[in-house]
């Protein structure tokens, strides 16, 4: 059994934020997966508190079966990486999970959201902004590719 968890913030206000791309991919997986070998969940707490909920959802499953889907400012919009034990330089949701699990060696589906084009916006502000229309079109293609890759794992 694989446990796939999309990170994001709860509530309609954050639905189209860059920080909620994990929820967006989880929604796509929930619409496209009927496999009994995959369980897809979305966090219901704020990003910085993800660790406690992920630990609870993981339960007795081994972290080798865990995939965390999250936004990543180290990767440009339109790209993604699926890696084990590697993540962004700074992501408070991931740090919370690492702290709660006491390990870093779980798989991450790192969805690129970086598209500032030289704008002087702090990362913590940028990830709470909504995607623009053009960005959403790019993101749709990424979500489709990521969904296919995850379902074929």
Active site residues: 19
Burial class (CB in 10 A: 0-12, 13-18, 19+), 50: buried
- Contact at 8 Å (CB) between 72 and 21? no
Q: Which residues pair with 81 in a beta bridge?
A: 110
Q: Is the dihedral of CA 131, 134, 140, 142 positive or negative?
A: negative
């Amino acid at each position: 059994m694989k446990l796939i968890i999309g990170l994001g913030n709860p509530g309609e206000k954050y639905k189209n934020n860059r920080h909620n791309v994990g929820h967006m991919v989880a929604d796509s997986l929930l619409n496209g997966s009927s496999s009994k070998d995959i369980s897809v969940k979305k966090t219901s707490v704020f990003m910085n508190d993800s660790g406690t909920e992920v630990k609870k959802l993981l339960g007795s499953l081994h972290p080798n079966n865990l995939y965390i889907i999250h936004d990543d400012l180290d990767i440009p919009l339109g790209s993604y990486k699926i890696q084990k034990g590697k993540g962004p330089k700074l992501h408070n949701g991931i740090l919370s999970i690492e702290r709660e699990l006491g390990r870093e060696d779980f798989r991450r589906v790192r969805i690129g959201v970086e598209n500032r084009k030289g704008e002087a916006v702090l990362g913590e502000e940028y990830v709470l902004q909504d995607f623009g229309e053009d960005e959403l079109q790019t993101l749709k293609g990424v979500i489709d590719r990521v969904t296919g890759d995850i379902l074929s794992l």
